[in-house]
Structure 1
Amino acid sequence: MNLKNYLKERMLFLLNNLILFAIIGGIMLLVNSNWNLILLTFCIWFFPVLTYMIIEFMKQKAFYNELTSIMDNLDKKFLLPEIMNEPESLEGKLLYDILQQTNKDMHEHVKRYRVRENEYREYIETWVHEIKTPIASTRLIIENNQNSITRNIKEELKKVEEYIEQVLFYSRSNNVSKDYIIKEVSLADLTRKVIKRNSRDFISKGIAIDMEAVEGTVYSDAKWLEFILNQLIGNATKYIKERDGKVTISTFKNENNIVLTIEDNGIGIIDKDLNKVFEKGFTGENGRKYGQSTGIGLYLCKKLSEQLGLGLTLTSKTGEGTKVSIVFPIGSVNLLH
C-alpha cells in the first residue's frame, strides 16, 4: 500500500470537505469577513482531517505490510487467516471475518476429501491383501502341474505380484509415518534378499551379479528399503544387454553418509531423459521402445527415499549403463562396520 493509492481512495472525502469549505468561505466573504479569519477557519477545519488521514494511512500501511510479509514467508498460504492479527478498522474486521469463515469452509472441504482418500486407500490395501489368496492358490496349482506352460504362467504371475506390491506401496506413500518401523538393517543381507527375489531373471538372462563390496549397517525401515532396492535392481535387469550383462552393487562410506550403489552395463538412458526419470508417469525413450515401463517405479523410489530421509541419485550414459545411488546420512543411528 502506498500514499498515492490511499489518496486516490480518499479523494471523494477530501473533495467533499473542500466543497463545503468553499461554500462556507464564500458565505464568510459575503458577510465581509477578513482573509485572516478565513485562513484560520481553513486551518481549524483541515488540521484534524489531515491528522486523521495520516494516522489512518500509517495504521493501514503497517497492517498491510505485516500481511504481505507473512504471505511472503508462509509456505502454506491458506493458513494466513489463522495467524494474521485481527485489524482495528471496520473494513479490516469485515474482511477478517470473511477470511475466517472461508478458512473454516476450506478445512471442512479438505476434511471430506481426506476421508474419501483414506477410504479409497483402505480399500486398495484390503484388495491387495485379498488378491494374494487366489495368487497363492495359483502358485500351488502351478507347483503341482509343472510343465513349460505353467512355468511361463509362473513368470507372468511374478510380474503381477510386483505390480500389486507397487500398488500397495503407492497407496501408502503419503502416509509413511504410519507404517514406519526403524530398526537395524544389514545392507548385505538386504541386498542378498532382493537378489534372491530376482534370481530367475539373473539366471534366465545370464546376468552376472557382483555384490562383494556390499557391507555396513544402517537404521531405517527394512520393508521400504527392500521395495526401493527391488525396484532399482528390477530396472537394472530389465534394460540389461543381451550378452555379458552385469550388475554391480557396492557400498562406500563418506564423511557424512553411506552410499549404496547399483550399477549395470545396460542400454543406458539418453541425455534428454535424465532429468525426468523421477517424474510420475515418465517412461522415456527406453520405456516406449521396450514397452516395459509404467513410469511409477522410479517416481515411487524417489518419493519414499525423501520421506525416509535418504538421497537418491541417478547417472547414465547411452550404451554404457546406469548407476543409481541411495545415500544414507550418517548420524547417531547410521553406522558402517
Structure 2
Amino acid sequence: MEIQQLPLPGNLIESDYQDLLKKLSAAHSQLENTKAEKEQEILDYFTMWVHQIKIPISALHLILQDEDREVTEEMREQLFKIDQYVELILQYVRLGSTSTDYHFQKVDLDAMIRESFKKYASVFIRKRLSVHYDGIDQRIVTDSKWLSFVLEQIVSNALKYTKEGAISIYLEENAVVIEDTGIGIRPEDIPRVAERNFTGFTGREHKSASGIGLYLSKQILTKLEHQIKIESEPKKGTKVSIVFDDKQMTTE
C-alpha cells in the first residue's frame, strides 16, 4: 500500500505513526533522487574527461605521421593502449549508472565482428597473427553498442596473450566463438577470470592485465541476457563463447 493510500487514522497513535511513515517515505524519495543526480554527475564528468583526453591522443597520432617509423610504431602501440584504458573506464562508469539504457534491436553479427577486427588490424599486422573468419550470416537481438564492446574486449585479450598463430571467430550452435592459439589460462583460474580485479597467473606473469575487461564483459552480457563461456588449456590457447538464446537469433 502506498503512503498516500493509508486509511484514515483511528486515533492519535495511528496518526503519529502515519506521519512518521510519510516522513520516512519523503526522506527515502529525496535520497533516491540525490543518488540518481550524483550518479549522473559522475557519468557526465567521466564522459567529459574521456572526450578531453582523446583530443591530445588524436593530436599525437597526427604528429607521429611525420616521425621516425620505428619510434612511431612503438608510440602508436602505447597510444592505442591508453585509448583502450580510457574507453574501459568510461564503460565501467556507464555500466554502474542507473541512467544507462539498453536499446535492443536486430543486429548484423557479421558487420559487428568485421568492425572489431578492423579496430585491431594494426595489432594483427604488428604481431604477424592470422585471422580465421569466413563470415557469419546471422542476426542477433541485442544492444549493438554494448555487444560490440564485449567483442572488442575478447579480441583484445586474445591478441594480448597470443604471440604466434591465429585468432579465429566462428558460429557454433547458438554461440559466437573467439578462439586463439595463445598461452592459455590455468584450470584453477578459469572460474575467477571474470571477477573484478582478478588477473590470475597469466595476467601477473605478463603484467598486462587490468582485471576489468572480462569482468565488464560478463556484467554486460548478463544485462543483455547473453552468457559467456570460457575454455582454455595452458600453452595451447583459449576459447571464449558468447552464448545466445534461441529467441535472440534470427537470419531475417
Q: TM-score, normalised by structure 2?
A: 0.86
For 1:237, the equivalent position in structure 2 comes to 159
* Matches of 2:117 and 2:221, distance apart in 1: 20
The alpha-carbon distance between structure 1 residues 219 and 104, as it changes in their structure 2 partners (threshold 3 A), is same
The answer to whether structure 1 residue 156 and structure 2 residue 72 are counterparts is no
**Percent of matched pairs sharing the same residue:** 32
Q: Give the secondary-structure state (helix, strand or coil) at the position aligned to 2:249.
A: coil
The answer to whether structure 1 residue 301 and structure 2 residue 217 are counterparts is yes
> What is the CA deviation profile of residues 16-59 of structure 1, one whole-angstrom value per residue up to 9, with x for unaligned ones?
xxxxxxxxxxxxxxxxxxxxxxxxxxxxxxxxxxxxxxxxxxxx
* Matches of 1:272 and 1:98, distance apart in 2: 53
Q: Would the aligned equivalents of 1:279 and 1:295 in 2 still touch at CA under 8 Å?
A: yes
* Matches of 2:72 and 2:135, distance apart in 1: 37
For 1:120, the equivalent position in structure 2 comes to 42
Q: 2:168 aligns with which of 233, 248, 257?
A: 248
For 2:243, the equivalent position in structure 1 comes to 327
The alpha-carbon distance between structure 1 residues 176 and 117, as it changes in their structure 2 partners (threshold 3 A), is closer
Q: Give the secondary-structure state (helix, strand or coil) at the position aligned to 1:185.
A: strand
For 1:317, the equivalent position in structure 2 comes to 233
Q: Would the aligned equivalents of 1:215 and 1:251 in 2 still touch at CA under 8 Å?
A: no
Q: Point out the structure with the larger helix share.
A: 1
* Matches of 1:314 and 1:101, distance apart in 2: 50
* Matches of 1:326 and 1:171, distance apart in 2: 23
Partner amino acid for 1:319? K
Q: Would the aligned equivalents of 2:180 and 2:237 in 1 still touch at CA under 8 Å?
A: yes
For 1:172, the equivalent position in structure 2 comes to 94
Q: How many residues align?
A: 251
> What is the CA deviation profile of residues 100-120 of structure 1, one whole-angstrom value per residue up to 9, with x for unaligned ones?
533432332333233222111
Q: 1:276 aligns with which of 192, 206, 215?
A: 192
Give the drift of 1:261: 0.8
Give the drift of 1:147: 2.4
* Matches of 1:117 and 1:252, distance apart in 2: 39
Structure 1 stretches (4+) deviating beyond 3 angstroms?
Answer: 80-104, 174-184
Higher relative contact order (CA 8 A, sep 6+): 2
For 2:110, the equivalent position in structure 1 comes to 188
Give the drift of 1:172: 1.4
Give the drift of 1:121: 0.9
Give the drift of 1:200: 2.1
For 1:73, the equivalent position in structure 2 comes to none
* Matches of 2:152 and 2:10, distance apart in 1: 60
Q: Give the secondary-structure state (helix, strand or coil) at the position aligned to 1:272.
A: coil
Structure having the higher Rg: 1
Q: 1:141 aligns with which of 53, 63, 66?
A: 63
Q: TM-score, normalised by structure 1?
A: 0.66
The alpha-carbon distance between structure 1 residues 146 and 221, as it changes in their structure 2 partners (threshold 3 A), is farther
Q: 1:215 aligns with which of 137, 142, 150?
A: 137
The runs of 5 or more residues in structure 1 that have no matched partner are 1-79
Q: Would the aligned equivalents of 2:39 and 2:97 in 1 still touch at CA under 8 Å?
A: no
The runs of 5 or more residues in structure 2 that have no matched partner are none
The answer to whether structure 1 residue 132 and structure 2 residue 48 are counterparts is no
* Matches of 1:239 and 1:314, distance apart in 2: 15
